[in-house]
Amino acid sequence: MEIILIFFIIGLFIALLFLNVYFRLKVLKAYKSLVQHRVQFDAKDVFNRQRIVDEIVPRYPQHEELILSFIDHIRYSVRIAMLLILLITIFGAVLMYYR
């Protein structure tokens, strides 16, 4: 049981690493396009989709899809990373108390 938990935790760390690389590439690609088109918004707007739709998209209507995909990629990567970190913590705690 202990070995299985250790391998599962290692697998989750590897998944977290690949997730980071994958979304970093996607987010940086979208970010590069936003910078080239001079689309500007605050970091606090990233987690407030309604504010993006109400204030930012009307200023840059031709880049709506790019803005929303950038926001969605960041939000999705944060959610998945939080889930993986939570799982790593839970399995680490189980492993610690199991020993």
**Residue 9 tokens, joined:** 């935790």
For 42-70, what is the mean pLDDT?
A: 89
Average pLDDT, the chain: 87
Check pLDDT > 80 for residue 99: no
Query: pLDDT class for 36, splitting at 50, 70, 90?
Result: very high
DSSP 29-82: HHHHHHHHTT----GGGGG-HHHIIIIIHHHSGGGHHHHHHHHHHHHHHHHHHH
- The residue count of the chain comes to 99
Q: Is the pLDDT of residue 98 over 80?
A: no
pLDDT, position 62: 93
